[in-house]
Chain A
Amino acid sequence: MDNELVKAIAELDEGKTLYLVRKRIEAGATPLEIVEDCRRGVEIVGQNYSNGTYFLSDLVMSEEILRKVMEILEPHFPPIEKSGGAKVIIGTIEGDIHDLGKNIVAYMLRSAGFDVIDLGVDVEPKAFVDAIVKTGARIVGISVLLTFAIGAIKKTVDLIKKAGLRDKVKIIIGGYPVNEKVLEYTGADYFENDVMKAVELVKKISAGEA
C-alpha cells in the first residue's frame, strides 16, 4: 500500500495524486493495487464528508481526480465490467433530470465495491422493473429532487409490486424532498438524504442486517 497516494487522494491533491499514479505505474505496480489505494483514499474522503470536514464540492473534486486516475490506468488493464459486489440499481425518477446526488451515491457505492447499474435520469417506472428482471439486483435506489416527481416513484413501487417483484427487492428513495411522509406515500422501504448514510444503509441491506 502506498500511504502517500492514499493521503494525496484523501487531501484532494490532484497534481500529487496523478504524479504518484504515473510514478507507480512506471515502477511496475499493478493497476489493481493502485485502484485499491484509491479506494482507501476515497473512503477517507467519505469519512471526512460524514464528519462534516468535507462538503459536496470536495466529493465532486474527488470524483474528478478518480476519473483522471482511471484515464491513466485504463490502457494498463482491461476495465473491470463487474466488480463482483452486490448489484444496486440506481436512477433519477421520471420527470426529474437532476443527477448530482445520484452520481455521488453511485460513485461512493462503486468505491465501496458495489456493482452499480446506473439507469441515468428521467427513468420511467418500467425501466426500473426491466432492470430488476434483467440484472436480478436486490437493491433499488431512486433519486428525486423535484417534489412533483414523487408521484412517479409511487408508480414505480406499484409497478414493481404488480410485476411480483416487491418481496425480492429493497427500495431506497433519496433526495431533497424525501421524508417519513413521502416514504409512506410512495411505499418504498427506506429513505435517506445523506450520501454516506445511504452507502451504510446499502451495506446493511446487502449484509442482511436491514
Chain B
Amino acid sequence: MSNDKSKLLEERKKRYLTALDCGKPDRVPIGLTVSEFMAKVAGFTLQEIYYDLDKNLKALAKFVEEYEVDTFFSAPSLWWAASHDAVGAVYLKFAGRELEPNTQFQYVEGEFMLPEDYDAFIENPTEWILTTYLPRIHKEFAEPGSYRASVALIKGAGARAMELQLTQQGTAKIMEEYGVVPAGTGLTKAPFDTLGDALRGLKGIMMDMRKVPDKLKAAMEVLVPHNIFYALATAGGDTEFPAFMPLHRGAYPFLNPRQWDEFYWPTLKKVIEGLWEKGKRTYFFAEGDWTPYLERIAELPDKSIVFHVDMTDIDKAKKILGGRFCLKGNIPNSLLAVGKPEEVRDYVKRLIDEYAADGGFVIDAAAVVQGDAKEENIRAVIETVLLYGKY
C-alpha cells in the first residue's frame, strides 16, 4: 500500500468510527450505500455484474476511484448469479436469464417453509435446511441423495467458496488501492426476518403470529445464537466495523404494536445485545418507517447500533436516539433519481445543519442506491458534504 493511501485509509477509518461512537470527526463522513449504481458508473450491464465476479469488483473499484466516499458497502451485486444457476435457485431471477440484461435482480417470495415444518426446524434448523429446505428452493436438489443433487451440491458449495474468497481478496485490494473503509463487516438479521423473509414468507409469518405463536417464538429463540454467530463468522471475526443487519418486517405498519413488542423485538434485541457483548456493533438498517418503535430501540446499550434513517421521522430519531446512537441517512432515493443537483444540495445541507451539527452522523441515501440514481446527483451529495460538512 502506498503511504498516501494508507494515510487516507486511516483518516477515513477514524472519521467513520468517531461518528459511529457519536463523536465529532474532522468532517461528516460520507457512507453512501450504493449497489447497482456502480455498474452504471463502470459502464457494465447488470447482467455483467451479476454473472462476472471480476466485473462486479471492477465496478466497485471504479466507483470508489471516481467518487470521494469514506466507506463502501460492498461490490454492486450481492449475488453471484452463476452459483445460483448451478443449483437451480427458484427464488431469484437474474438479468440475462429470466430478465432483460439491464434489469434489477428479483427475489420471488414464497412459503418455502410450511407451518408443519416448525417442529423439525426447532429441533435442528441446519439439518432441516439441508434435508428439506434446500431441495425445495433449488431445482437441482429436488431429489436429495440423487446423483444430480450430489453434483449440484458440490458445484454450489464450490462456487460459494470461490465467490467468498475472490470477493474478500478483491475488496481487501480495493481498500488498499483507494484508501476506503468498509461500512460494515458481516451480515445478520432479526430472527423474525430470518423466518419471515425466505422461510415462511410475509403472509405465512403473519398467520403464524395468530395461529402458532408458541412455535414461532421457539423458532426465533433457536435463531438467536445462530444469528449472533453468523454475524461474526461472516465478518471473519472482525469487531471494528458494524455487522450489517437489513431490517424488514418490523417496519411500520406491518405489525401492530402488540405483535411488534411480543414477536419482533425480544429476539432482535437479544441478537444486538449478544453481539455488543462480543464487542460487535450492529448496523441497524431500518428500511421503511420505524418511528413508532424508536422508544423501544432506545432501550439498547449506548452506541450498540448505527441507526439508518430511511422513512423514519428523522426529527424524532434525532431526539430519541441522538447522542446515544449514531444516525445514518437519509437522502430520499427518489430525489437522487428524479431530482436536480440543486435540490440534492439543499437536502444534504439541511441534513448537515440540522442533524449532523453535534456529531454522530453519517451521510447516506435513505435506501440502497440502485441504477436509477443520476450521477450528477451523487456528485452533488459528495460536493456538498466536502463543502459544508467540516466540523
Interface residues of A (CB under 8 A from B): 12, 14, 53-58, 60-61, 64, 95, 97, 100, 146-148, 150-151, 176-179, 181-182, 185
Contacts and interface: CB of A to CB of B under 8 A. Distances in A.
Contacts of B104: 95, 146, 148
B253 A56 contact: yes
A147 B333 contact: yes
A182 to B, nearest CB: 5
Contact of A64 (B207, B332, B333): B207
Interface in B195-243: 202-203, 206-207, 209-210
Given A61-B207, A148-B370, A55 B255 contact: yes
Nearest to B289: A176
7 contacts: A57-B256, A60-B207, A61-B206, A147-B337, A177-B332, A177-B334, A181-B339
Nearest to A98: B109
A185 B390 CA distance: 34
Interface in B283-330: 288, 311
Contact of B288 (A95, A151, A176, A185): A176
Interface in B228-284: 252-257, 259
A57 B255 contact: yes
Please indicate which of the listed interface residues B36, B203, B370 has the most CB atoms of chain A within 10 Å of its own CB. B203
B293 to A, nearest CB: 12
A177 B333 contact: yes
Contacts of A148: 36, 104, 337, 370-372
B99 to A, nearest CB: 9
Interface string B102-115: 01101010000000
B335 A181 contact: yes
B209 A57 contact: yes
B338 interface: yes
Contacts of A185: 338
Nearest to B211: A14
Contacts, number: 70
Report, as a range, how many residues of chain B touch the other chain: 20 to 34
B254 A150 contact: no
Please indicate which of the listed interface residues B103, B334, B370 has the most CB atoms of chain A within 10 Å of its own CB. B334
A128 B202 CA distance: 27
B334 A150 contact: yes
The 8 closest A-B pairs by CB, nearest first: A148-B372, A55-B256, A57-B206, A185-B338, A147-B333, A55-B253, A60-B206, A177-B334
Contacts of A177: 332-334
Given A148-B337, A150-B337, A56 B254 contact: yes
A46 to B, nearest CB: 13
Contacts of B256: 53-55, 57-58
Contact of A147 (B103, B203, B210, B372): B372
B255 A146 contact: no
A14 B209 CA distance: 13
A176 B366 CA distance: 12
Contact of A57 (B106, B254, B367): B254
Nearest to B367: A147
A155 B207 CA distance: 37
Contacts of A151: 372
Contacts of B335: 181
Contacts of B253: 55-56
A190 B334 CA distance: 17
B106 A181 contact: no
Contacts of B209: 57
Contacts of B339: 181
B109 to A, nearest CB: 9
B78 to A, nearest CB: 15
Given A57-B254, A150-B337, 18 more contacts: A53-B256, A55-B254, A55-B256, A56-B253, A60-B203, A61-B207, A97-B108, A100-B202, A147-B333, A147-B372, A148-B104, A148-B337, A150-B334, A176-B288, A176-B311, A178-B334, A179-B332, A181-B339
Contacts of B311: 176
Contacts of B257: 55
Interface in B101-132: 103-104, 106, 108
Interface in B314-373: 332-335, 337-339, 367, 370-372
Contacts of A58: 256
A43 B327 CA distance: 40
A55 B370 contact: no
A147 B370 contact: yes
A95 B103 contact: yes
B116 to A, nearest CB: 17
A55 B260 CA distance: 11
Contacts of A100: 202
A181 B332 CA distance: 11
Nearest to B249: A57
A60 B202 CA distance: 9
Contact of B338 (A14, A146, A150): A150
A144 B257 CA distance: 26
B340 to A, nearest CB: 10
Contacts of A14: 210
Nearest to B339: A181
Nearest to B343: A181
B202 to A, nearest CB: 6
A55 B292 CA distance: 12
